[in-house]
Amino acid sequence: MADAVATAVAAELFEKIRTKSAVVGVVGLGYVGLPLIDAFTSAGLRCVGFDVDWAKVQSLKEGVSYIRHMQSATIQGWLDRDLFEPTADMSRLSEADAIVICVPTPLNASRDPDLTYIEQTADAIARALRPGQLVILESTTYPTTTRDVLVPILQGNPAGLRCGADFFVAYSPEREDPGNQNFTAASIPKVVGGMDSASLELACDLYRHAIVQVVPVSSAEVAEACKILENTYRCVNIALVNELKVLFDRMGIDIWEVVAAAATKPFGFQAFYPGPGLGGHCIPIDPFYLSWLARRNGMSARFIELAGEVNTRMPQYVVDRLGEFLNERRLPIRGSRIAILGMAYKKDVDDFRESPALELAALLWKRGAILTYSDPHVANIGRAGHHELPAMTSQPLTPEYLRDQDCVLIATDHSAFDYELIVRHCSLVVDTRNATKSVQEGQDRIRRA
């Protein structure tokens, strides 16, 4: 009888998904959640968005976006078609047939995974859980999180509902690339792993409505490990070019020219570029998940840990080089007016989580620089994460502002920056992104770090 009930519960949910009558709940209305809602609503599925931040909820109710690459007109379109409702009321999670978790997974002070947001979300879902719901975790995390953390919390629900019988659970890693106009959430293949065959089929059927390609894998652990591999691959290769940059700087060799030359090889090479460090929510963090997981399993992930160390050292390297360049002009960092261009972690986005620019700012502040910044996408900063910084507001990039600086440090190569203007009016430009490579005049004022 239990198997028959489980089959009936799954069949009812399959039918809701097939007919697009299923309501999708998305928990976490940020850089992952909102693009996912766009994909689902574009496919005609109704979404309820959940977030504990009342300001975000209110903004979305008014059709106003707080994320640069998600247009307000898009959100207003969801509202106009009655396909979206934002709320901070977690008791309404029972209204959703499928719940997708898109909450942050940061590191704690000791650089170990902090699953607090996943655990809190799972607690809220467990309290509202009813038969016939599908729960999908998308937050980046280490393998076994779905099985060992999420499912036990959900199975602690007051009604005694069981995974695979009364409700269903899957993992599908988010693959957002903010600022990349070539991809949307709907156009990026979706890897899906389920806790059981029914969970896998249900999750795949749901995503097939909205995503160009669904890639089922044998388990939730494989899907979790897939995401870690993708980001660690980037971390390791960026560490390689960052280390080569330090070496080639000493030898007077331009690392960007070297990478460009190597990229002409049509096989066996993919170009990665150096920078002032890693930023964003995934790439600086995921390798630490792996090294932590290795320690739990009695191993040492030395290769991955080394890559993390190399990338973590880059902001200090940049500041040391900047100090050398100022010293050439008989100026110390202390008391010098230094402007950082770009606080976002990558080009043309407004996200400054884990941005290397914050670490650069903190290091320069500690060394006594008179610090300001300009970023067309980040209006103001204050205390950000573990960084102790004064509250600062983005400054207009005018000739007068540039001329008033002893040094301008390009930390993020936003397209909106006029690099000809920058070089023309600055006495010293330290470029960590090779953003000034095409500037015709004033190359003698540019130093790359």
Q: 392, exposed or middle or buried, with CB in 10 Å at 0-12, 13-18, 19+? A: middle
| Average pLDDT of the chain to the nearest whole number | 93
List the catalytic residue out of 226, 282, 407, 426: 282
CATH topology of domain 234-448: Rossmann fold (3.40.50)
The pLDDT-based confidence of 108 (bands split at 50, 70, 90) is: confident
Q: Which uninterrupted H or E stretch holds 137?
A: strand 133-137
| Distance, CA of 20 to CA of 41 (rounded, Å) | 10
- Length of the chain, please? 449
- Among 157-166, 213-222, 287-296, where is mean pLDDT lowest? 287-296
Cα–Cα dist 215/203, whole Å: 11
Q: What is the reported pLDDT for 280?
A: 67
Dig out the tokens for 226 from the structure: 């897939």
192's enclosing H/E stretch is: strand 190-194
Asked if 311 contacts 232 with a C-beta cutoff of 8 angstroms, the reply is: no
CB atoms within 10 A of CB 339: 24
Look up residue 206 and give its two tokens.
Answer: 């749901």
Q: What is the pLDDT of residue 239?
A: 94
- The pLDDT of residue 1: 34
C-alpha dist (Å) from residue 266 to 166, 254, 262, 301, 382: 52, 22, 9, 31, 45
Least-confidence region, from 57-61, 116-120, 138-142, 282-286? 282-286
Residues 6 or more apart in contact with residue 375 via CB below 8 angstroms: 341, 342, 343, 344, 394, 412, 414
127-136, 300-309, 401-410: least confidently modelled range: 300-309
Phi first, then psi: give them for residue 111, nearest 5 degrees.
65, 30
Mean pLDDT calculated for residue range 339-344:
97
Mean pLDDT lowest for which of 89-93, 195-199, 360-364, 377-381?
A: 377-381
Question: Residue ranges of the domains in the chain?
Answer: 2-218, 234-448
Say if residue 162 is exposed, middle or buried (CB neighbours under 10 Å; 0-12, 13-18, 19+): middle
Question: Is residue 293's pLDDT more than 90?
Answer: no
Contact 243, 306 (CB under 8 A): no
CA distance 60 to 49: 9
The helix (run of H) or strand (run of E) holding residue 27 is strand 23-27
For the stretch 47-79, pLDDT in tens is 999 999 999 999 999 999 998 888 999 999 999
Q: Do domains 2-218 and 234-448 have the same CATH topology?
A: yes
In this prediction, residues 171-187 reach a mean pLDDT of 85
Whether domain 2-218 has CATH 3.40.50.720: yes
Q: For residue 53, what are the CA distances in angstroms to 29, 58, 125, 318?
A: 9, 9, 17, 36
Q: How many CB atoms lie within 10 A of CB 140?
A: 24
Distance separating alpha carbons of residues 225 and 411, to the nearest angstrom: 31
282 included as an active-site residue = yes
Mean pLDDT value of segment 307-321: 94
The structure tokens listed for 113 are 């995974």
pLDDT tens digits, one per residue of 240-256:
999 999 999 999 999 99
Asked if residue 110 has pLDDT above 70, the reply is no
Question: Quick one: pLDDT at residue 299?
Answer: 87
Average pLDDT over residues 269-273: 96
Q: Which of 208, 176, 209, 180 is nearest to 192 (CA)?
A: 208
CA-wise closest residue to 243 among 261, 228, 258, 227: 258
The DSSP secondary structure of 195-249, one letter per residue, reads: SSHHHHHHHHHHHHTTSS-EEEES-HHHHHHHHHHHHHHHHHHHHHHHHHHHHHH
pLDDT of residue 383: 62
